């Protein structure tokens, strides 16, 4: 697991922040949040938006800038921006600026705010995303400055991210459902078959989109 994600998991309680709770942060465009990163995970919507911004197909965008792996816990294909060089720089960072700034991945747009689902019943886990609590987190990123004060709600709205993000909930439910299915298949199929299943799922989830149409439909 990436160290940044592990740190969040280990310190979740202290990092929680309410929707209308204030925090201080101002981006100074230093580019520090784009290096030493292996955790810029992508949803299908992120890939679609970036491909459209760069006038690429989703396939070409993925070949140029992304990579996939099978989630240790989720057991589904996980897509992320592929870090480059010893400093693990985001491949979309050029001259300290993001080349897809207007269509940057959601995790980048929200930075340094994050979000996750918390199971209402920890014994049952995240069986149904609609039954669980959406929780926001904030951690001082060590970059930028504190010259601006925001609430989480205002910050999300400024980047066009809805508080009631129906796509996020649907995507999370897809991860849960497919993970449950793949774990069952893994019990009865060999590695070669699983590779075929994962490849088909990866193509269907992340790549098969008509770029002339809106994403959600």
Q: What angle do CA 93, 76, 61 make, to 5 degrees?
A: 30
For the stretch 81-124, pLDDT in tens is 999 999 999 999 998 889 999 999 999 999 999 998 876 554 45
Q: Among the listed ranges 43-47, 56-60, 144-148, 201-205, which one has the minimum average pLDDT value?
A: 144-148
For the stretch 1-19, pLDDT in tens is 456 556 666 777 788 999 9
Phi, psi of 48, deg, nearest 5: -60, -50
For the stretch 158-190, pLDDT in tens is 988 988 888 998 898 899 899 999 999 999 999
pTM of the full structure:
0.87
Residue 133 has pLDDT above 50, yes or no: yes
Residue 131 has pLDDT above 80, yes or no: no
Residue 64 has pLDDT above 80, yes or no: yes
Task: Give the dihedral sign, CA 166/123/184/10.
Answer: positive
Question: Residue 213: inside a domain, yes or no?
Answer: no
Range of the domain at 141: 3-207
Average pLDDT over residues 128-140: 75
Task: Give the dihedral sign, CA 172/47/203/80.
Answer: negative
* pLDDT at res. 8: 66
* pLDDT at res. 56: 96
Query: CA 5 to CA 7: how far, in whole Å?
Result: 5
Question: Residue 196: inside a domain, yes or no?
Answer: yes
* pLDDT at res. 118: 73
Q: What domain count does the chain have?
A: 1
What's the mean per-residue pLDDT of the chain?
88
Question: Residue 215: inside a domain, yes or no?
Answer: no
Question: Residue 216: inside a domain, yes or no?
Answer: no
* pLDDT at res. 194: 96
* pLDDT at res. 11: 73
Question: Residue 28: inside a domain, yes or no?
Answer: yes
Question: Residue 62: inside a domain, yes or no?
Answer: yes
Question: Residue 157: inside a domain, yes or no?
Answer: yes
Three-class secondary structure assignment of the chain: CCHHHHHHHHCHHHHEECCCCEEEEECCCCCHHHCCCCCCEECHHHHHHHHHHHCCCHHHHHHHHEEEEECCCCCCEEEEECCECCCCECCCEECCEECCHHHCCHHHHHCCEEEEEECCCCCCCCCCHHHCEEEEEECCCCCCEEEEEEEHHHHHHHCCCCCCCHHHHHHHHHHHHHHHHHHHHHHHCCHHHHHHHHHHHHHHHHHCCCCCCCCCC
* pLDDT at res. 123: 46
Residue 128 has pLDDT above 70, yes or no: no
Question: Residue 55: inside a domain, yes or no?
Answer: yes
* pLDDT at res. 134: 85
């Amino acid at each position: 697991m990436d160290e940044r994600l592990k740190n969040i998991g280990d310190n979740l309680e202290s990092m929680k922040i309410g929707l209308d709770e204030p925090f201080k942060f101002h981006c100074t465009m230093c580019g520090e949040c784009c290096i030493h990163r292996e955790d810029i995970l992508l949803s299908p919507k992120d890939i679609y938006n970036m491909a459209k911004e760069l006038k690429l197909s989703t396939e070409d965008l993925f070949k140029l800038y992304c990579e996939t792996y099978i989630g240790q816990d989720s057991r589904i294909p996980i897509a992320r921006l592929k870090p480059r060089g010893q400093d693990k720089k985001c491949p979309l960072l050029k001259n300290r600026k993001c080349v897809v700034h207007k269509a940057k991945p959601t995790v980048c747009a929200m930075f340094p705010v994050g979000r996750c689902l918390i199971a209402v019943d920890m014994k049952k886990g995240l069986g149904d995303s609609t039954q669980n609590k959406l929780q926001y987190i904030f951690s001082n990123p060590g970059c930028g400055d504190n010259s601006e004060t925001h609430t989480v709600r205002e910050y999300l709205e400024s980047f066009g991210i809805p508080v009631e993000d129906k796509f996020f909930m649907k995507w999370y439910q897809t991860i849960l459902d497919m993970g449950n299915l793949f774990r069952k298949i893994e019990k009865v199929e060999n590695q070669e078959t699983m590779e075929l299943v994962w490849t088909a799922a990866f193509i269907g989830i992340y790549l098969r989109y008509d770029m002339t149409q809106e994403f959600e439909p």
